[in-house]
Structure 1
Amino acid sequence: MCDCKEEDDDDDVPQLSSEALAALQEFYMEQQQKEESIKIAGGSDNCPLGLIEENWQLSQFWYDTETAERLAKEAVRAVGKGGRIACVSAPSIYQKLKEQNNDDFSTCILEYDQRFSVYGAEYVFYDYNDPLNLPATLQEHSFDIVLADPPYLSEECLRKTAETIKYLTKGKVLLCTGSVMEEHAAKYLGVKMCKFIPKHTRNLANEFRCYVNYDSGLDLDSVS
């Protein structure tokens, strides 16, 4: 019997044009080169800022430059000289803080994505499903502000991330999440929505907002 079905199935498989195939190969090569550069860097002093790109599979969506700068400046303003800033699941803001290269404050990043281990001792592996599984180096109430951006818009994710935030902060909280989470944010962290509207590099379906529990500069037209 002639197995014509198999041949027909092969004919139905969509074929990429030579231009599309070349573009795809170029993309994969660029990604591989970036991954190799990250491995070679091997430390926060050597890793070029912005080298690590967002990974949608990890629910990462970077803030645009203006938003990241605004939130980084707000965190620095809130802690003052000698302050400590913890970024929980907020890598694009952490990288903006690193760009300042300022000795007036210190920062660390708690992040599930282990690519950020190139930042050395400032990186802490973090899984919101186990919110208090933190190293002894992160002592209770040891950060002047915790800036957090939970990876998922769900009550469970926010509730568990809130446990981490309350453990780490001395008091101040800057939360970035969807506007639909306003009621849960108030319930678990006692934060209120700000006027400032954060924006991402890519358009997202859900509207995002910032929430704080202190007198912030995010209700002003600009931050000095």
Structure 2
Amino acid sequence: MAIAVAVIEEHTLTRYGLARLVDEQPDMAFAGEACSGAEALRLVATRRPTVVTLAVTLPDIDGIRLARELRDRYPGLGIVVLTSRGVDDVLFRAMETGASAFVPKTAPTAEVLGAIRHAAVAASSFTATGLASAFARRQEAGARVGLSPRERETLQLLSRGLSVPAIAELMHVTQSTAKTYVTRLYDKLGVSNRAQALMTAVHHGLIQSVA
């Protein structure tokens, strides 16, 4: 049975190129396209593709947030995040939301197709070229500032714009404990608020971008 692939992408030429690439594969079938988050949700609900390729940048929603919504609604859906922003922070965000694969748009077509095939058979298993190197860079950056694993996790969640109660829920700790993590993080970065913390974290290479 062919892998039904839906393309979610803002740019027309990219959608066209991905559609042609999929159509050329004997084990794949093009299942439709969407250029926004709203269209994507309707498309997936009606066509029920095996895999979606998903751009990070969409006109009405952040692609990573859409990936989380799709994963919550469709646990077996393969989700391949395609991005022109090949930075570690986006990679880790994609992994945390439950995406199946992360591929830069500059990657060879063989890598894109490999990610789609992986997503079709292992939707809940994350794969990305350079994942081990990204982990090593994150650990080295945290070590330079002296952040604990929990403080690094707190920083990543702050960079996504989450509140202390939301951070506590995701980390499975009390709000008091989450506040302690945030306070220690600010102390180690030498800052007094979230905005300063994120700017300093970017400067030290602890995060690559801010959601």
TM-score of Structure 1 vs Structure 2, range by shorter chain = 0.3 to 0.5
Could you tell me the TM-score, scaled by structure 1's length? 0.35
Greater percentage in helix: 2
Could you tell me the TM-score, scaled by structure 2's length? 0.37
Higher relative contact order (CA 8 A, sep 6+): 1
Structure ID, larger Rg: 1
